[in-house]
Structure formats: structure tokens, C-alpha cells
A and B are shown apart, each in its own frame.
Chain A
């Protein structure tokens, strides 16, 4: 299907149409930034071609050309010998030449009709400086985040993991963008099957354009019709390194400041990387709070709708007067009231996300305070529901992974509908559907709900709670790691320096 869709692209752009090098060069000359000139010496001359926007011109003039003109050039073979830069190649393969010149190589020919040429690398490397992580900011810990340059990102990981086992398998994806995608894994630790799955899926990608790693994520994910993300993306090199050590596979792509992590599990989406920086008790309680927040966020509005529509018996008698009097003037049934408020919160969030930061803040305040109060005063919503909806929106933002919090907010709507149709029974039915869906999901072929189902007691050490580091001495079972032991636990010697 996808193949057919993009077949027209192939026809137009393939260099096979061009018969030889002079023709290719004529073709390239259509662009204004393609430079070509003849360098004439006493008895020899050569031709230089390059894109000035891709080539580091100072480097070219200071460190490459002087070597070429110091003595007359006899043959192309002289060039690799003279230029002290690695990566100089001779080629007559049109496809390769075309690819290299588009990546910032300089073409050198000895005469205007030659079909063979030398290619000298002299790319200009422009990248944003490494900055603080913004989405996954932590108070303690490293303040480095991935940037758009693949080389910088690889550097950030390699310097944290200086072992030869760290392999970076490169694939080029995208017919037009030719994006470099790198699969990172620790040889001998990561499961070969997992690595091969990722490689295979990357190689099978058949699209023209890779805008971002998120596109790759959508293309290689297991169930493309699930609202749940099945791969984690992170902007923290330390998190990427840490999951590599666990035996997971990391995918980086050029032009994207995000790394993909797989295989992953549902509970991993609720663990922040900061959990590993703090004491295990603090970390575990933070995780419990987060899990409570998720359940609260999904269930509280549906339960409100269900109880008010069907189960008035369940409301404690002291709460009754608060609820009834707050709903006294409201013409809408609970479901419409809830949908109205939920939609306005979603509107606010969407408007805030699309606007520049400073305006976005104003929108938040205007929306939250003004619209909320006004709608209560106008008698459109009850103030109890306003509190509930605001709290559940707040709770949904506790999810450490941004993608997941979007999903959580979306999940609430089917629950609302079911709550309206069948009350608490409907909420239960919807919950069953949700569990069934989650059970069906896989991440790179590994069960998504592990260690809860299938139950792997050993992996519970780092799931809902995080046990102390000395218990983290085995790699997660679901990764099927080649080397399951991370380190040997040595019983601690007596630490007391003083004796009574």
C-alpha cells in the first residue's frame, strides 16, 4: 500500500535517469548555492564542485585546497594521499556521488568530462548547544538533554558508556529525507531478538519523510491503532544510558532530540527518572501517588456522573445537601455538565499548548478562574464538578511521560459515556475493556503489562514501588537479556567504626 503510494516519487528523483557525471553536475547547477570553478595552476588544473551551504568553506580553503595546489595533480589517486583528512574516496558511482555531495562532500575532477571524481568530506556541522531538559527536568541529576544532532546525541551516550559492547547500528530511512537512524544496544546484554526486531522494522519503513523520531515511533510500534504509546521517548541521555544497561534498545534519529526506548511496560510510563535519584522510600511513595493520580484522573468524573445519575444511595447523607444544592439550578443532566466542563478544560489545554508561553499562561488563568467561576454563577455547572474536573486534569499531568498523559485524558471520555449509559456497571465494563486492551498490547513483541500480567515477582522490584538499589541486581525478565545478572550482591561488612 505504502509502496504504491510513493512510487511516483521514486520515478522523479532517481539519479538513474542521469547517465553520467557531467550530466549530474549539470543537473546540480540548477541550484544557486552549488558552486563550481576551475582551479588553474601552471600546468595542471582541476575542477571543484560543492554546495556552499553544506560545506565548511574556511576548512576547505585552509586545510584542503593548499595540499592540492602545492604540486600539480597528475591523477585522482594523488588526492587521498595528499589530503590529510580521513574519508576521502574516489568514485564513479553516480548514486554514491550524488548522496555524498548532498551530505557536504566536495567533488574534485581533473577535467570537465571525467566520469570519475574524488570526494572530500568537509561538512559544516551546525548544531544547537546541549541544553537543559525541559520536559523531563529533574531537580537533582544531570542537566544535559539530547539535541537535534545525531553525532552530539551519540557522543552524550558514548561518554556515559565507554565500553566496546555499545553498538550503534545505522539505517537510513526516508526516501526524500534520507534520515540517519541509529539503533543502540549493548552487545551481549540486549536480547538479540529485540535488537533484530527493531532493525527489521526500521528497514521495513517505506516513507518519503521522517520528520522526527515520533514518526519512527508510530511506524515501528506494535499496535498502531492503540492510543497507548508502546515505546517510551526520552530527552535525557542518562535515562537512555540507564535503559541500555538494563538491556533495552534505544533508537536515535538525526534531527530529533528524542530517543526511543523499547521494549517497555505500562508501569515504566509512570516511573519518573528522578525516582532513581532519591531514596527508595521517597521514590516508591511518589510512584504510588502517581498511580493513585492516574486512577483518580480516569475514574473520578465518570463515578460522579454514575452516582448522580443512578446511585443516589451511595452518597453519604452529609454530602447530599452539598451536592443537591450545588446542582439545584443546573438545567443539564450530569453527563452533559461533565462533558461541558471536560471539553472546556481540553480547550484550555489545547489553546495553551498552541500559543506562545507567555500568552499561554494568561489563557490558563483566564480560562481556569474566569470561565470556571462564570459558568458556576451562570448556573451551567455545579461547583462540586468544577473542583472534580480541575483536580482530575491536574492529576493527569503527574504522568512523567507526556504522551501517556494525553492518552489518560482521552481515556476519560469513553468512561464518561459508559457511566452515563449504565452507571457504575458501565464504569466496570469500560474498565474491563481497558484492561483487555492493555493485555493485548505488546512492546517490540514483549508483553506490555508485565510484571503485573504475566506476573513476574522478580520484576516487581522496580514497578509500582522501587526497592533499594541492592535489590536491582538482576535485569528485568521480560527483556530476556543475554546476561541476566547486573552485579553480584556482596553482603555488606560491618559498618560500625566504633564499638561499645
Chain B
């Protein structure tokens, strides 16, 4: 009886130690952006822009924007609290954006690290690099939605069904920490009242060193991973004729048998459906022609891209990681870095058009 009494009393007393965060009494940050401050005297500091949606009873969503400058990102957070009526929580963070300036000069790992350390932040948070000014980007009203969800959805559907390769906190950290991989993140830009994905930012370590334009994203995705998408790819068959290929399913294969003699072959395989054709009639011979044109086009773009990567000595395609997986014994990261620019990497495409419409 005494034991039961003590048990109950101590349990009730312990409830005082639990911290409550009632849903409507907290400030949920859905997107956070980091930028370098503009003023001269704030050198070495970081400007953090956080957006917390305010859901109104009538269904409207207002976005409150908080801007603070400090040396550490957690310090920024305590400064946010000083100007907010409700305590800040980070559990509903959807997107973290970094300005191009930060990514190019200081590197982003220091900031990503705090995201990774916070247990209430999931590993599926999207990361991105912003070309536009962070404060303008996040202060823009994107309609009756909260900004975080809006940008998250833009990135999410593009990497699920579109040409954007998958990039979230988990992927970034994997690429960053694994040997023979370099991370990449989507590049976004403000386009009047929308956010546009303009390409891919390429990293060496945690520093941005280059970028890929949006029109080459398809080629990058073919080179990078197996995927299927609903986007289209336009092939220029000759001066007048164009064909659009939809419902693309793609696979890549790395032939690593000749790594010893510094030769790597990448085989891409694409299946697609012709939905649009500007020429007159699609004959089987024409189909072959289209396939060949597409193969050549992708091969050319791919080879340009690979050569670019080699000159910059970055490996976003994860070739190093693939080589490591077939290397017996210790894989030396430094050796690989030395060897990589001189590797003979070739790229072969195989395009198959499976359907070309009902009317033949």
C-alpha cells in the first residue's frame, strides 16, 4: 500500500518535468534560410530567416518572417524567441535553404550539422541552395499556403516524378560522409511569385564549386540513378523535326571490370513513349532515327558533364563509391582523388521507344 502510494505520488510529481508544447501555443518553423549579412560591420556572422505559418480560424495562412543575425545558428534561434509571442520549435521543419554566397565561401556543413543534431528534425528535410536574396525569397507571398510547405512540395514532386535527383538531409549527409561521393543540392530561384528550380549545385566537400543547368538535369539523372518520370525529353531529329518522349524509365549500369586499367564504362538505358512529333509520319525507320538521335544527344551531353566533373575533381555521380564497393582491401580516398581526373570514363546510351501513339 505504501509502495503504491509512493509510486503514484512520484509519478504525479514527475509530470512536472515533462515539457508541454501545445499545438496552438508554439511557433512552428517550416522553412529556414541562411544568408550572409549585407552590412559591413556584421562580417563573420550569419543571417537566419525563419518562416512560421500562422493558421487563422477562417482558414487563411499568414506567414510570419523572423530575421536575425548571429554567429551561431542556435543563437539565432534564441533571438527569434525574443521577438515571437510563442516559443519556437523546429519539429515541423520542411526545408532548409542556404544562400549561394554561404555555400561558395563558408561551406554549409556547420549549419547542416545543427539540423542533423536536433532529434526533432527528420532526415527527410529538403536542403537547397538559393540564387536569390534569402530574405526576399522567404518574404514573398506564395498564395494561401505556408512558405515551407510550398517550397517543400515544389522540390518533393520534382524529385519524385520529375528530373530532379533525390536530395534531402539524409542523402546530403550520405554523399558528404561516404568516401568517393560528392554532394549536390537543388538550386532554386525566385521567379516573381513562384519558386523555380534552376539547376543543381555541385559541391566539393561542403563547398559549392559549380552547377548544372536545369536543361541538363535529365542527363544528370540518367547518369546518377535508376528512375522513372512523367516528364518529357525533347529530341531534335534534324533541323525541322522534333520528337517529345514521355514516361521515361531509365537505368544506369557501371562497368567497373577495367578499373585496374583506369577504364570505366557507364551504360544508360532509357525506355520511352513518343507523345509528340513534329514530322509527318512515324515509320519504323523514323523511330530508329529518333532513338539514335536521342542516344547521341544524351551521350554528348553526358560526356561533357563527366569531363566537367573530372576537371573540377568532383564526383556527384558516386563513381568513386561504386569503385570502392568492388575494391578488395582498403580503398584510399586520397589515391582515388588523384586518379579520378585522369580516368577514362566512357558513356554509352541505349534508347528504346516502346510506343509511338495509337495512330500509325
Contact = CB atoms under 8 A, between A and B. Distances in A.
B266 interface: no
Given A312-B26, A317-B92, A328-B24, 17 more contacts: A307-B23, A310-B20, A317-B94, A317-B152, A320-B28, A320-B92, A324-B24, A325-B55, A325-B57, A325-B58, A326-B57, A327-B23, A327-B24, A328-B57, A330-B24, A421-B11, A422-B18
Looking at B22, B23, B55, the one whose CB has the most chain A CB atoms below 10 A away is: B23
A315 interface: yes
A231 B20 CA distance: 42
Nearest to A321: B55
Contact of A324 (B21, B30, B55, B89): B55
Contacts of A317: 30, 92, 94, 149, 152
A311 to B, nearest CB: 8
Given A317-B149, A327-B24, A423-B18, A312 B91 contact: yes
Interface of A: 307-310, 312-313, 315, 317, 320-321, 323-330, 333-334, 421-423
B312 interface: no
B168 to A, nearest CB: 15
A309 B59 contact: no
27 contacts: A309-B20, A310-B18, A310-B21, A312-B23, A312-B26, A312-B28, A312-B92, A313-B91, A317-B149, A317-B152, A320-B28, A320-B92, A321-B55, A321-B59, A321-B146, A324-B55, A325-B55, A325-B58, A325-B59, A326-B57, A328-B56, A328-B57, A330-B24, A333-B22, A334-B22, A421-B12, A422-B15
Nearest to B23: A308
Nearest to A330: B24
Looking at A309, A317, A328, the one whose CB has the most chain B CB atoms below 10 A away is: A317
B18 A321 contact: no
A328 B89 contact: no
Contacts of A327: 23-24
Contacts of B94: 317
A340 to B, nearest CB: 16
Interface string B1-45: 000000000011001001011111010101000000000000000
A329 B149 contact: no
A321 B61 contact: yes
Looking at chain A's contact residues, the main secondary structure is helix
A143 to B, nearest CB: 50
B78 interface: no
Nearest to B90: A313
A313 B121 CA distance: 9
B105 interface: no
A421 B18 contact: yes
Interface size bracket, B side: 20 to 34
B230 interface: no
A334 B23 CA distance: 9
Nearest to A329: B57
What 5 A-B pairs have minimum CB-CB distances, sorted nearest first?
A313-B91, A324-B55, A328-B57, A421-B15, A325-B55
Interface of B: 11-12, 15, 18, 20-24, 26, 28, 30, 53, 55-59, 61, 89, 91-92, 94, 120, 122, 146, 149, 152
A306 to B, nearest CB: 11
Contacts of A313: 91-92, 120, 122
B75 to A, nearest CB: 23
A309 B57 contact: no
Contacts of A310: 18, 20-21
A174 to B, nearest CB: 35
A229 to B, nearest CB: 25
A225 to B, nearest CB: 14
B18 to A, nearest CB: 6
A48 B11 CA distance: 74
A325 B56 contact: yes
A323 B15 contact: no
B21 to A, nearest CB: 6
B92 A328 contact: no
A422 B19 CA distance: 9
A421 B13 CA distance: 10
Contacts of A323: 23
A421 B12 CA distance: 8
Contacts of A325: 55-59
B4 to A, nearest CB: 12
A333 B23 CA distance: 10
Contacts of B30: 317
A315 B55 contact: no
A320 B152 CA distance: 15
A312 B20 CA distance: 10
B25 to A, nearest CB: 9
A132 to B, nearest CB: 48
A53 to B, nearest CB: 53
Nearest to B149: A317
Contacts of A334: 22-23
A446 B20 CA distance: 44
Contacts of B58: 325
Contacts of A330: 24
A317 B156 CA distance: 14
Given A327-B24, A422-B15, A312 B55 contact: no
Contacts of B15: 421-422
Given A312-B28, A312-B92, A421-B15, A320 B22 contact: no
